[in-house]
Amino acid sequence: MSLLVPGENADAAPMPVAPARLFDALVESSPHAIALYALRTGIIDYVNLGMVALTGLSRASLVGARMRDLLTEVQPAGTGYCDGRLNGQYGLALPTGRHRTIEVRTELIALAGGHYGQMIAWDVTAQAGIQRELAYRATHDGLTGLANEAAALAYLSSSLRHLRGDRARSVAVIYLDLNGFKRINDTYGHQVGDEILARAAARLDAVTRTGDLAARLHGDEFVVVCTVLNTIHAAHIVDRIRSTLREPYEVGGTQLRAPASIGVAVAVDPAVNAEALMRCADQRMYTDKRHAMRIA
């Protein structure tokens, strides 16, 4: 293969280009970011112009740096750092403070100085953002931002599996329903009803401890999945939730109330089924609701 030198007559025989020089030119001008680094140390020996553009760093800053120091926030989709090779998706911090998500593939190269990795990377920030958004929507309620029913059941199942190795703790399901919500929704309209749901969810999330999960199931029904020491501990959490949801909501100058009926089920047997535990808490919530209606 040969290239035509500018200024030459098109009819003249083209000047041959050495394969090594041609390869260097192709790598240097590749639209993908390319880096060559030592597998043993991770130190970068070479970067092309694409790598300079992708990272926002100069060639002098990149050569001699450690490859792993550039890649922060390893993404869950990444397949890790295997035998010095980087493969998968990673977060890349830019000098501007912004972050990109990059897809990385590494091939092994044996040279006289040892074994190297030839890394090819490309920017997938937009695609990764779409994937994260889709994953979020699949596991969260669109109105309140809380986890949805599918996520709550998955979390409960996981918590029950972990419970089998911890006899000192139990898993509690706290199921709740907002009393008077239908009346508010019918009287003031769906916009006010949605605001009550969103604000109730925010209150519920605020009293949920780190490591526990608050979720909206459907309508005005919510659930909290939490780890407790015993039933007394669960009762204290229920009291805290009941107290915060008892407070009125001020909407357009009007005080609206939607206190919660609550049912709680504590998994004493770690082999209990997640759906069965959820149903038990649901039934107890309706018992609490009937009791509240008799008092009212």
What residues are labeled active site?
220
Please name every residue paired with 237 in a beta bridge, in sequence order, or none if there are none.
none
Q: How far is CA 263 from CA 133, 181, 218, 278, in A?
A: 33, 17, 16, 10
Structure tokens at 186: 């019918």
Distance CA(197)–CA(181), nearest Å, equals: 9
SS (H, E, C) 167-221: CCCEEEEEEEEECCHHHHHHHHCHHHHHHHHHHHHHHHHHHCCCCCEEEEEECCE
Residue 24 φ/ψ region, left for φ over 0, alpha for ψ in the -120 to 50 degree band, beta for the rest: alpha
Please name every residue paired with 290 in a beta bridge, in sequence order, or none if there are none.
none
Distance CA(223)–CA(204), nearest Å, equals: 9
Angle of the 149-163 helix axis to the 274-295 helix axis, nearest 10: 110
Q: How far is CA 218 from CA 76, 146, 209, 233, 276, in A?
A: 30, 11, 22, 27, 18
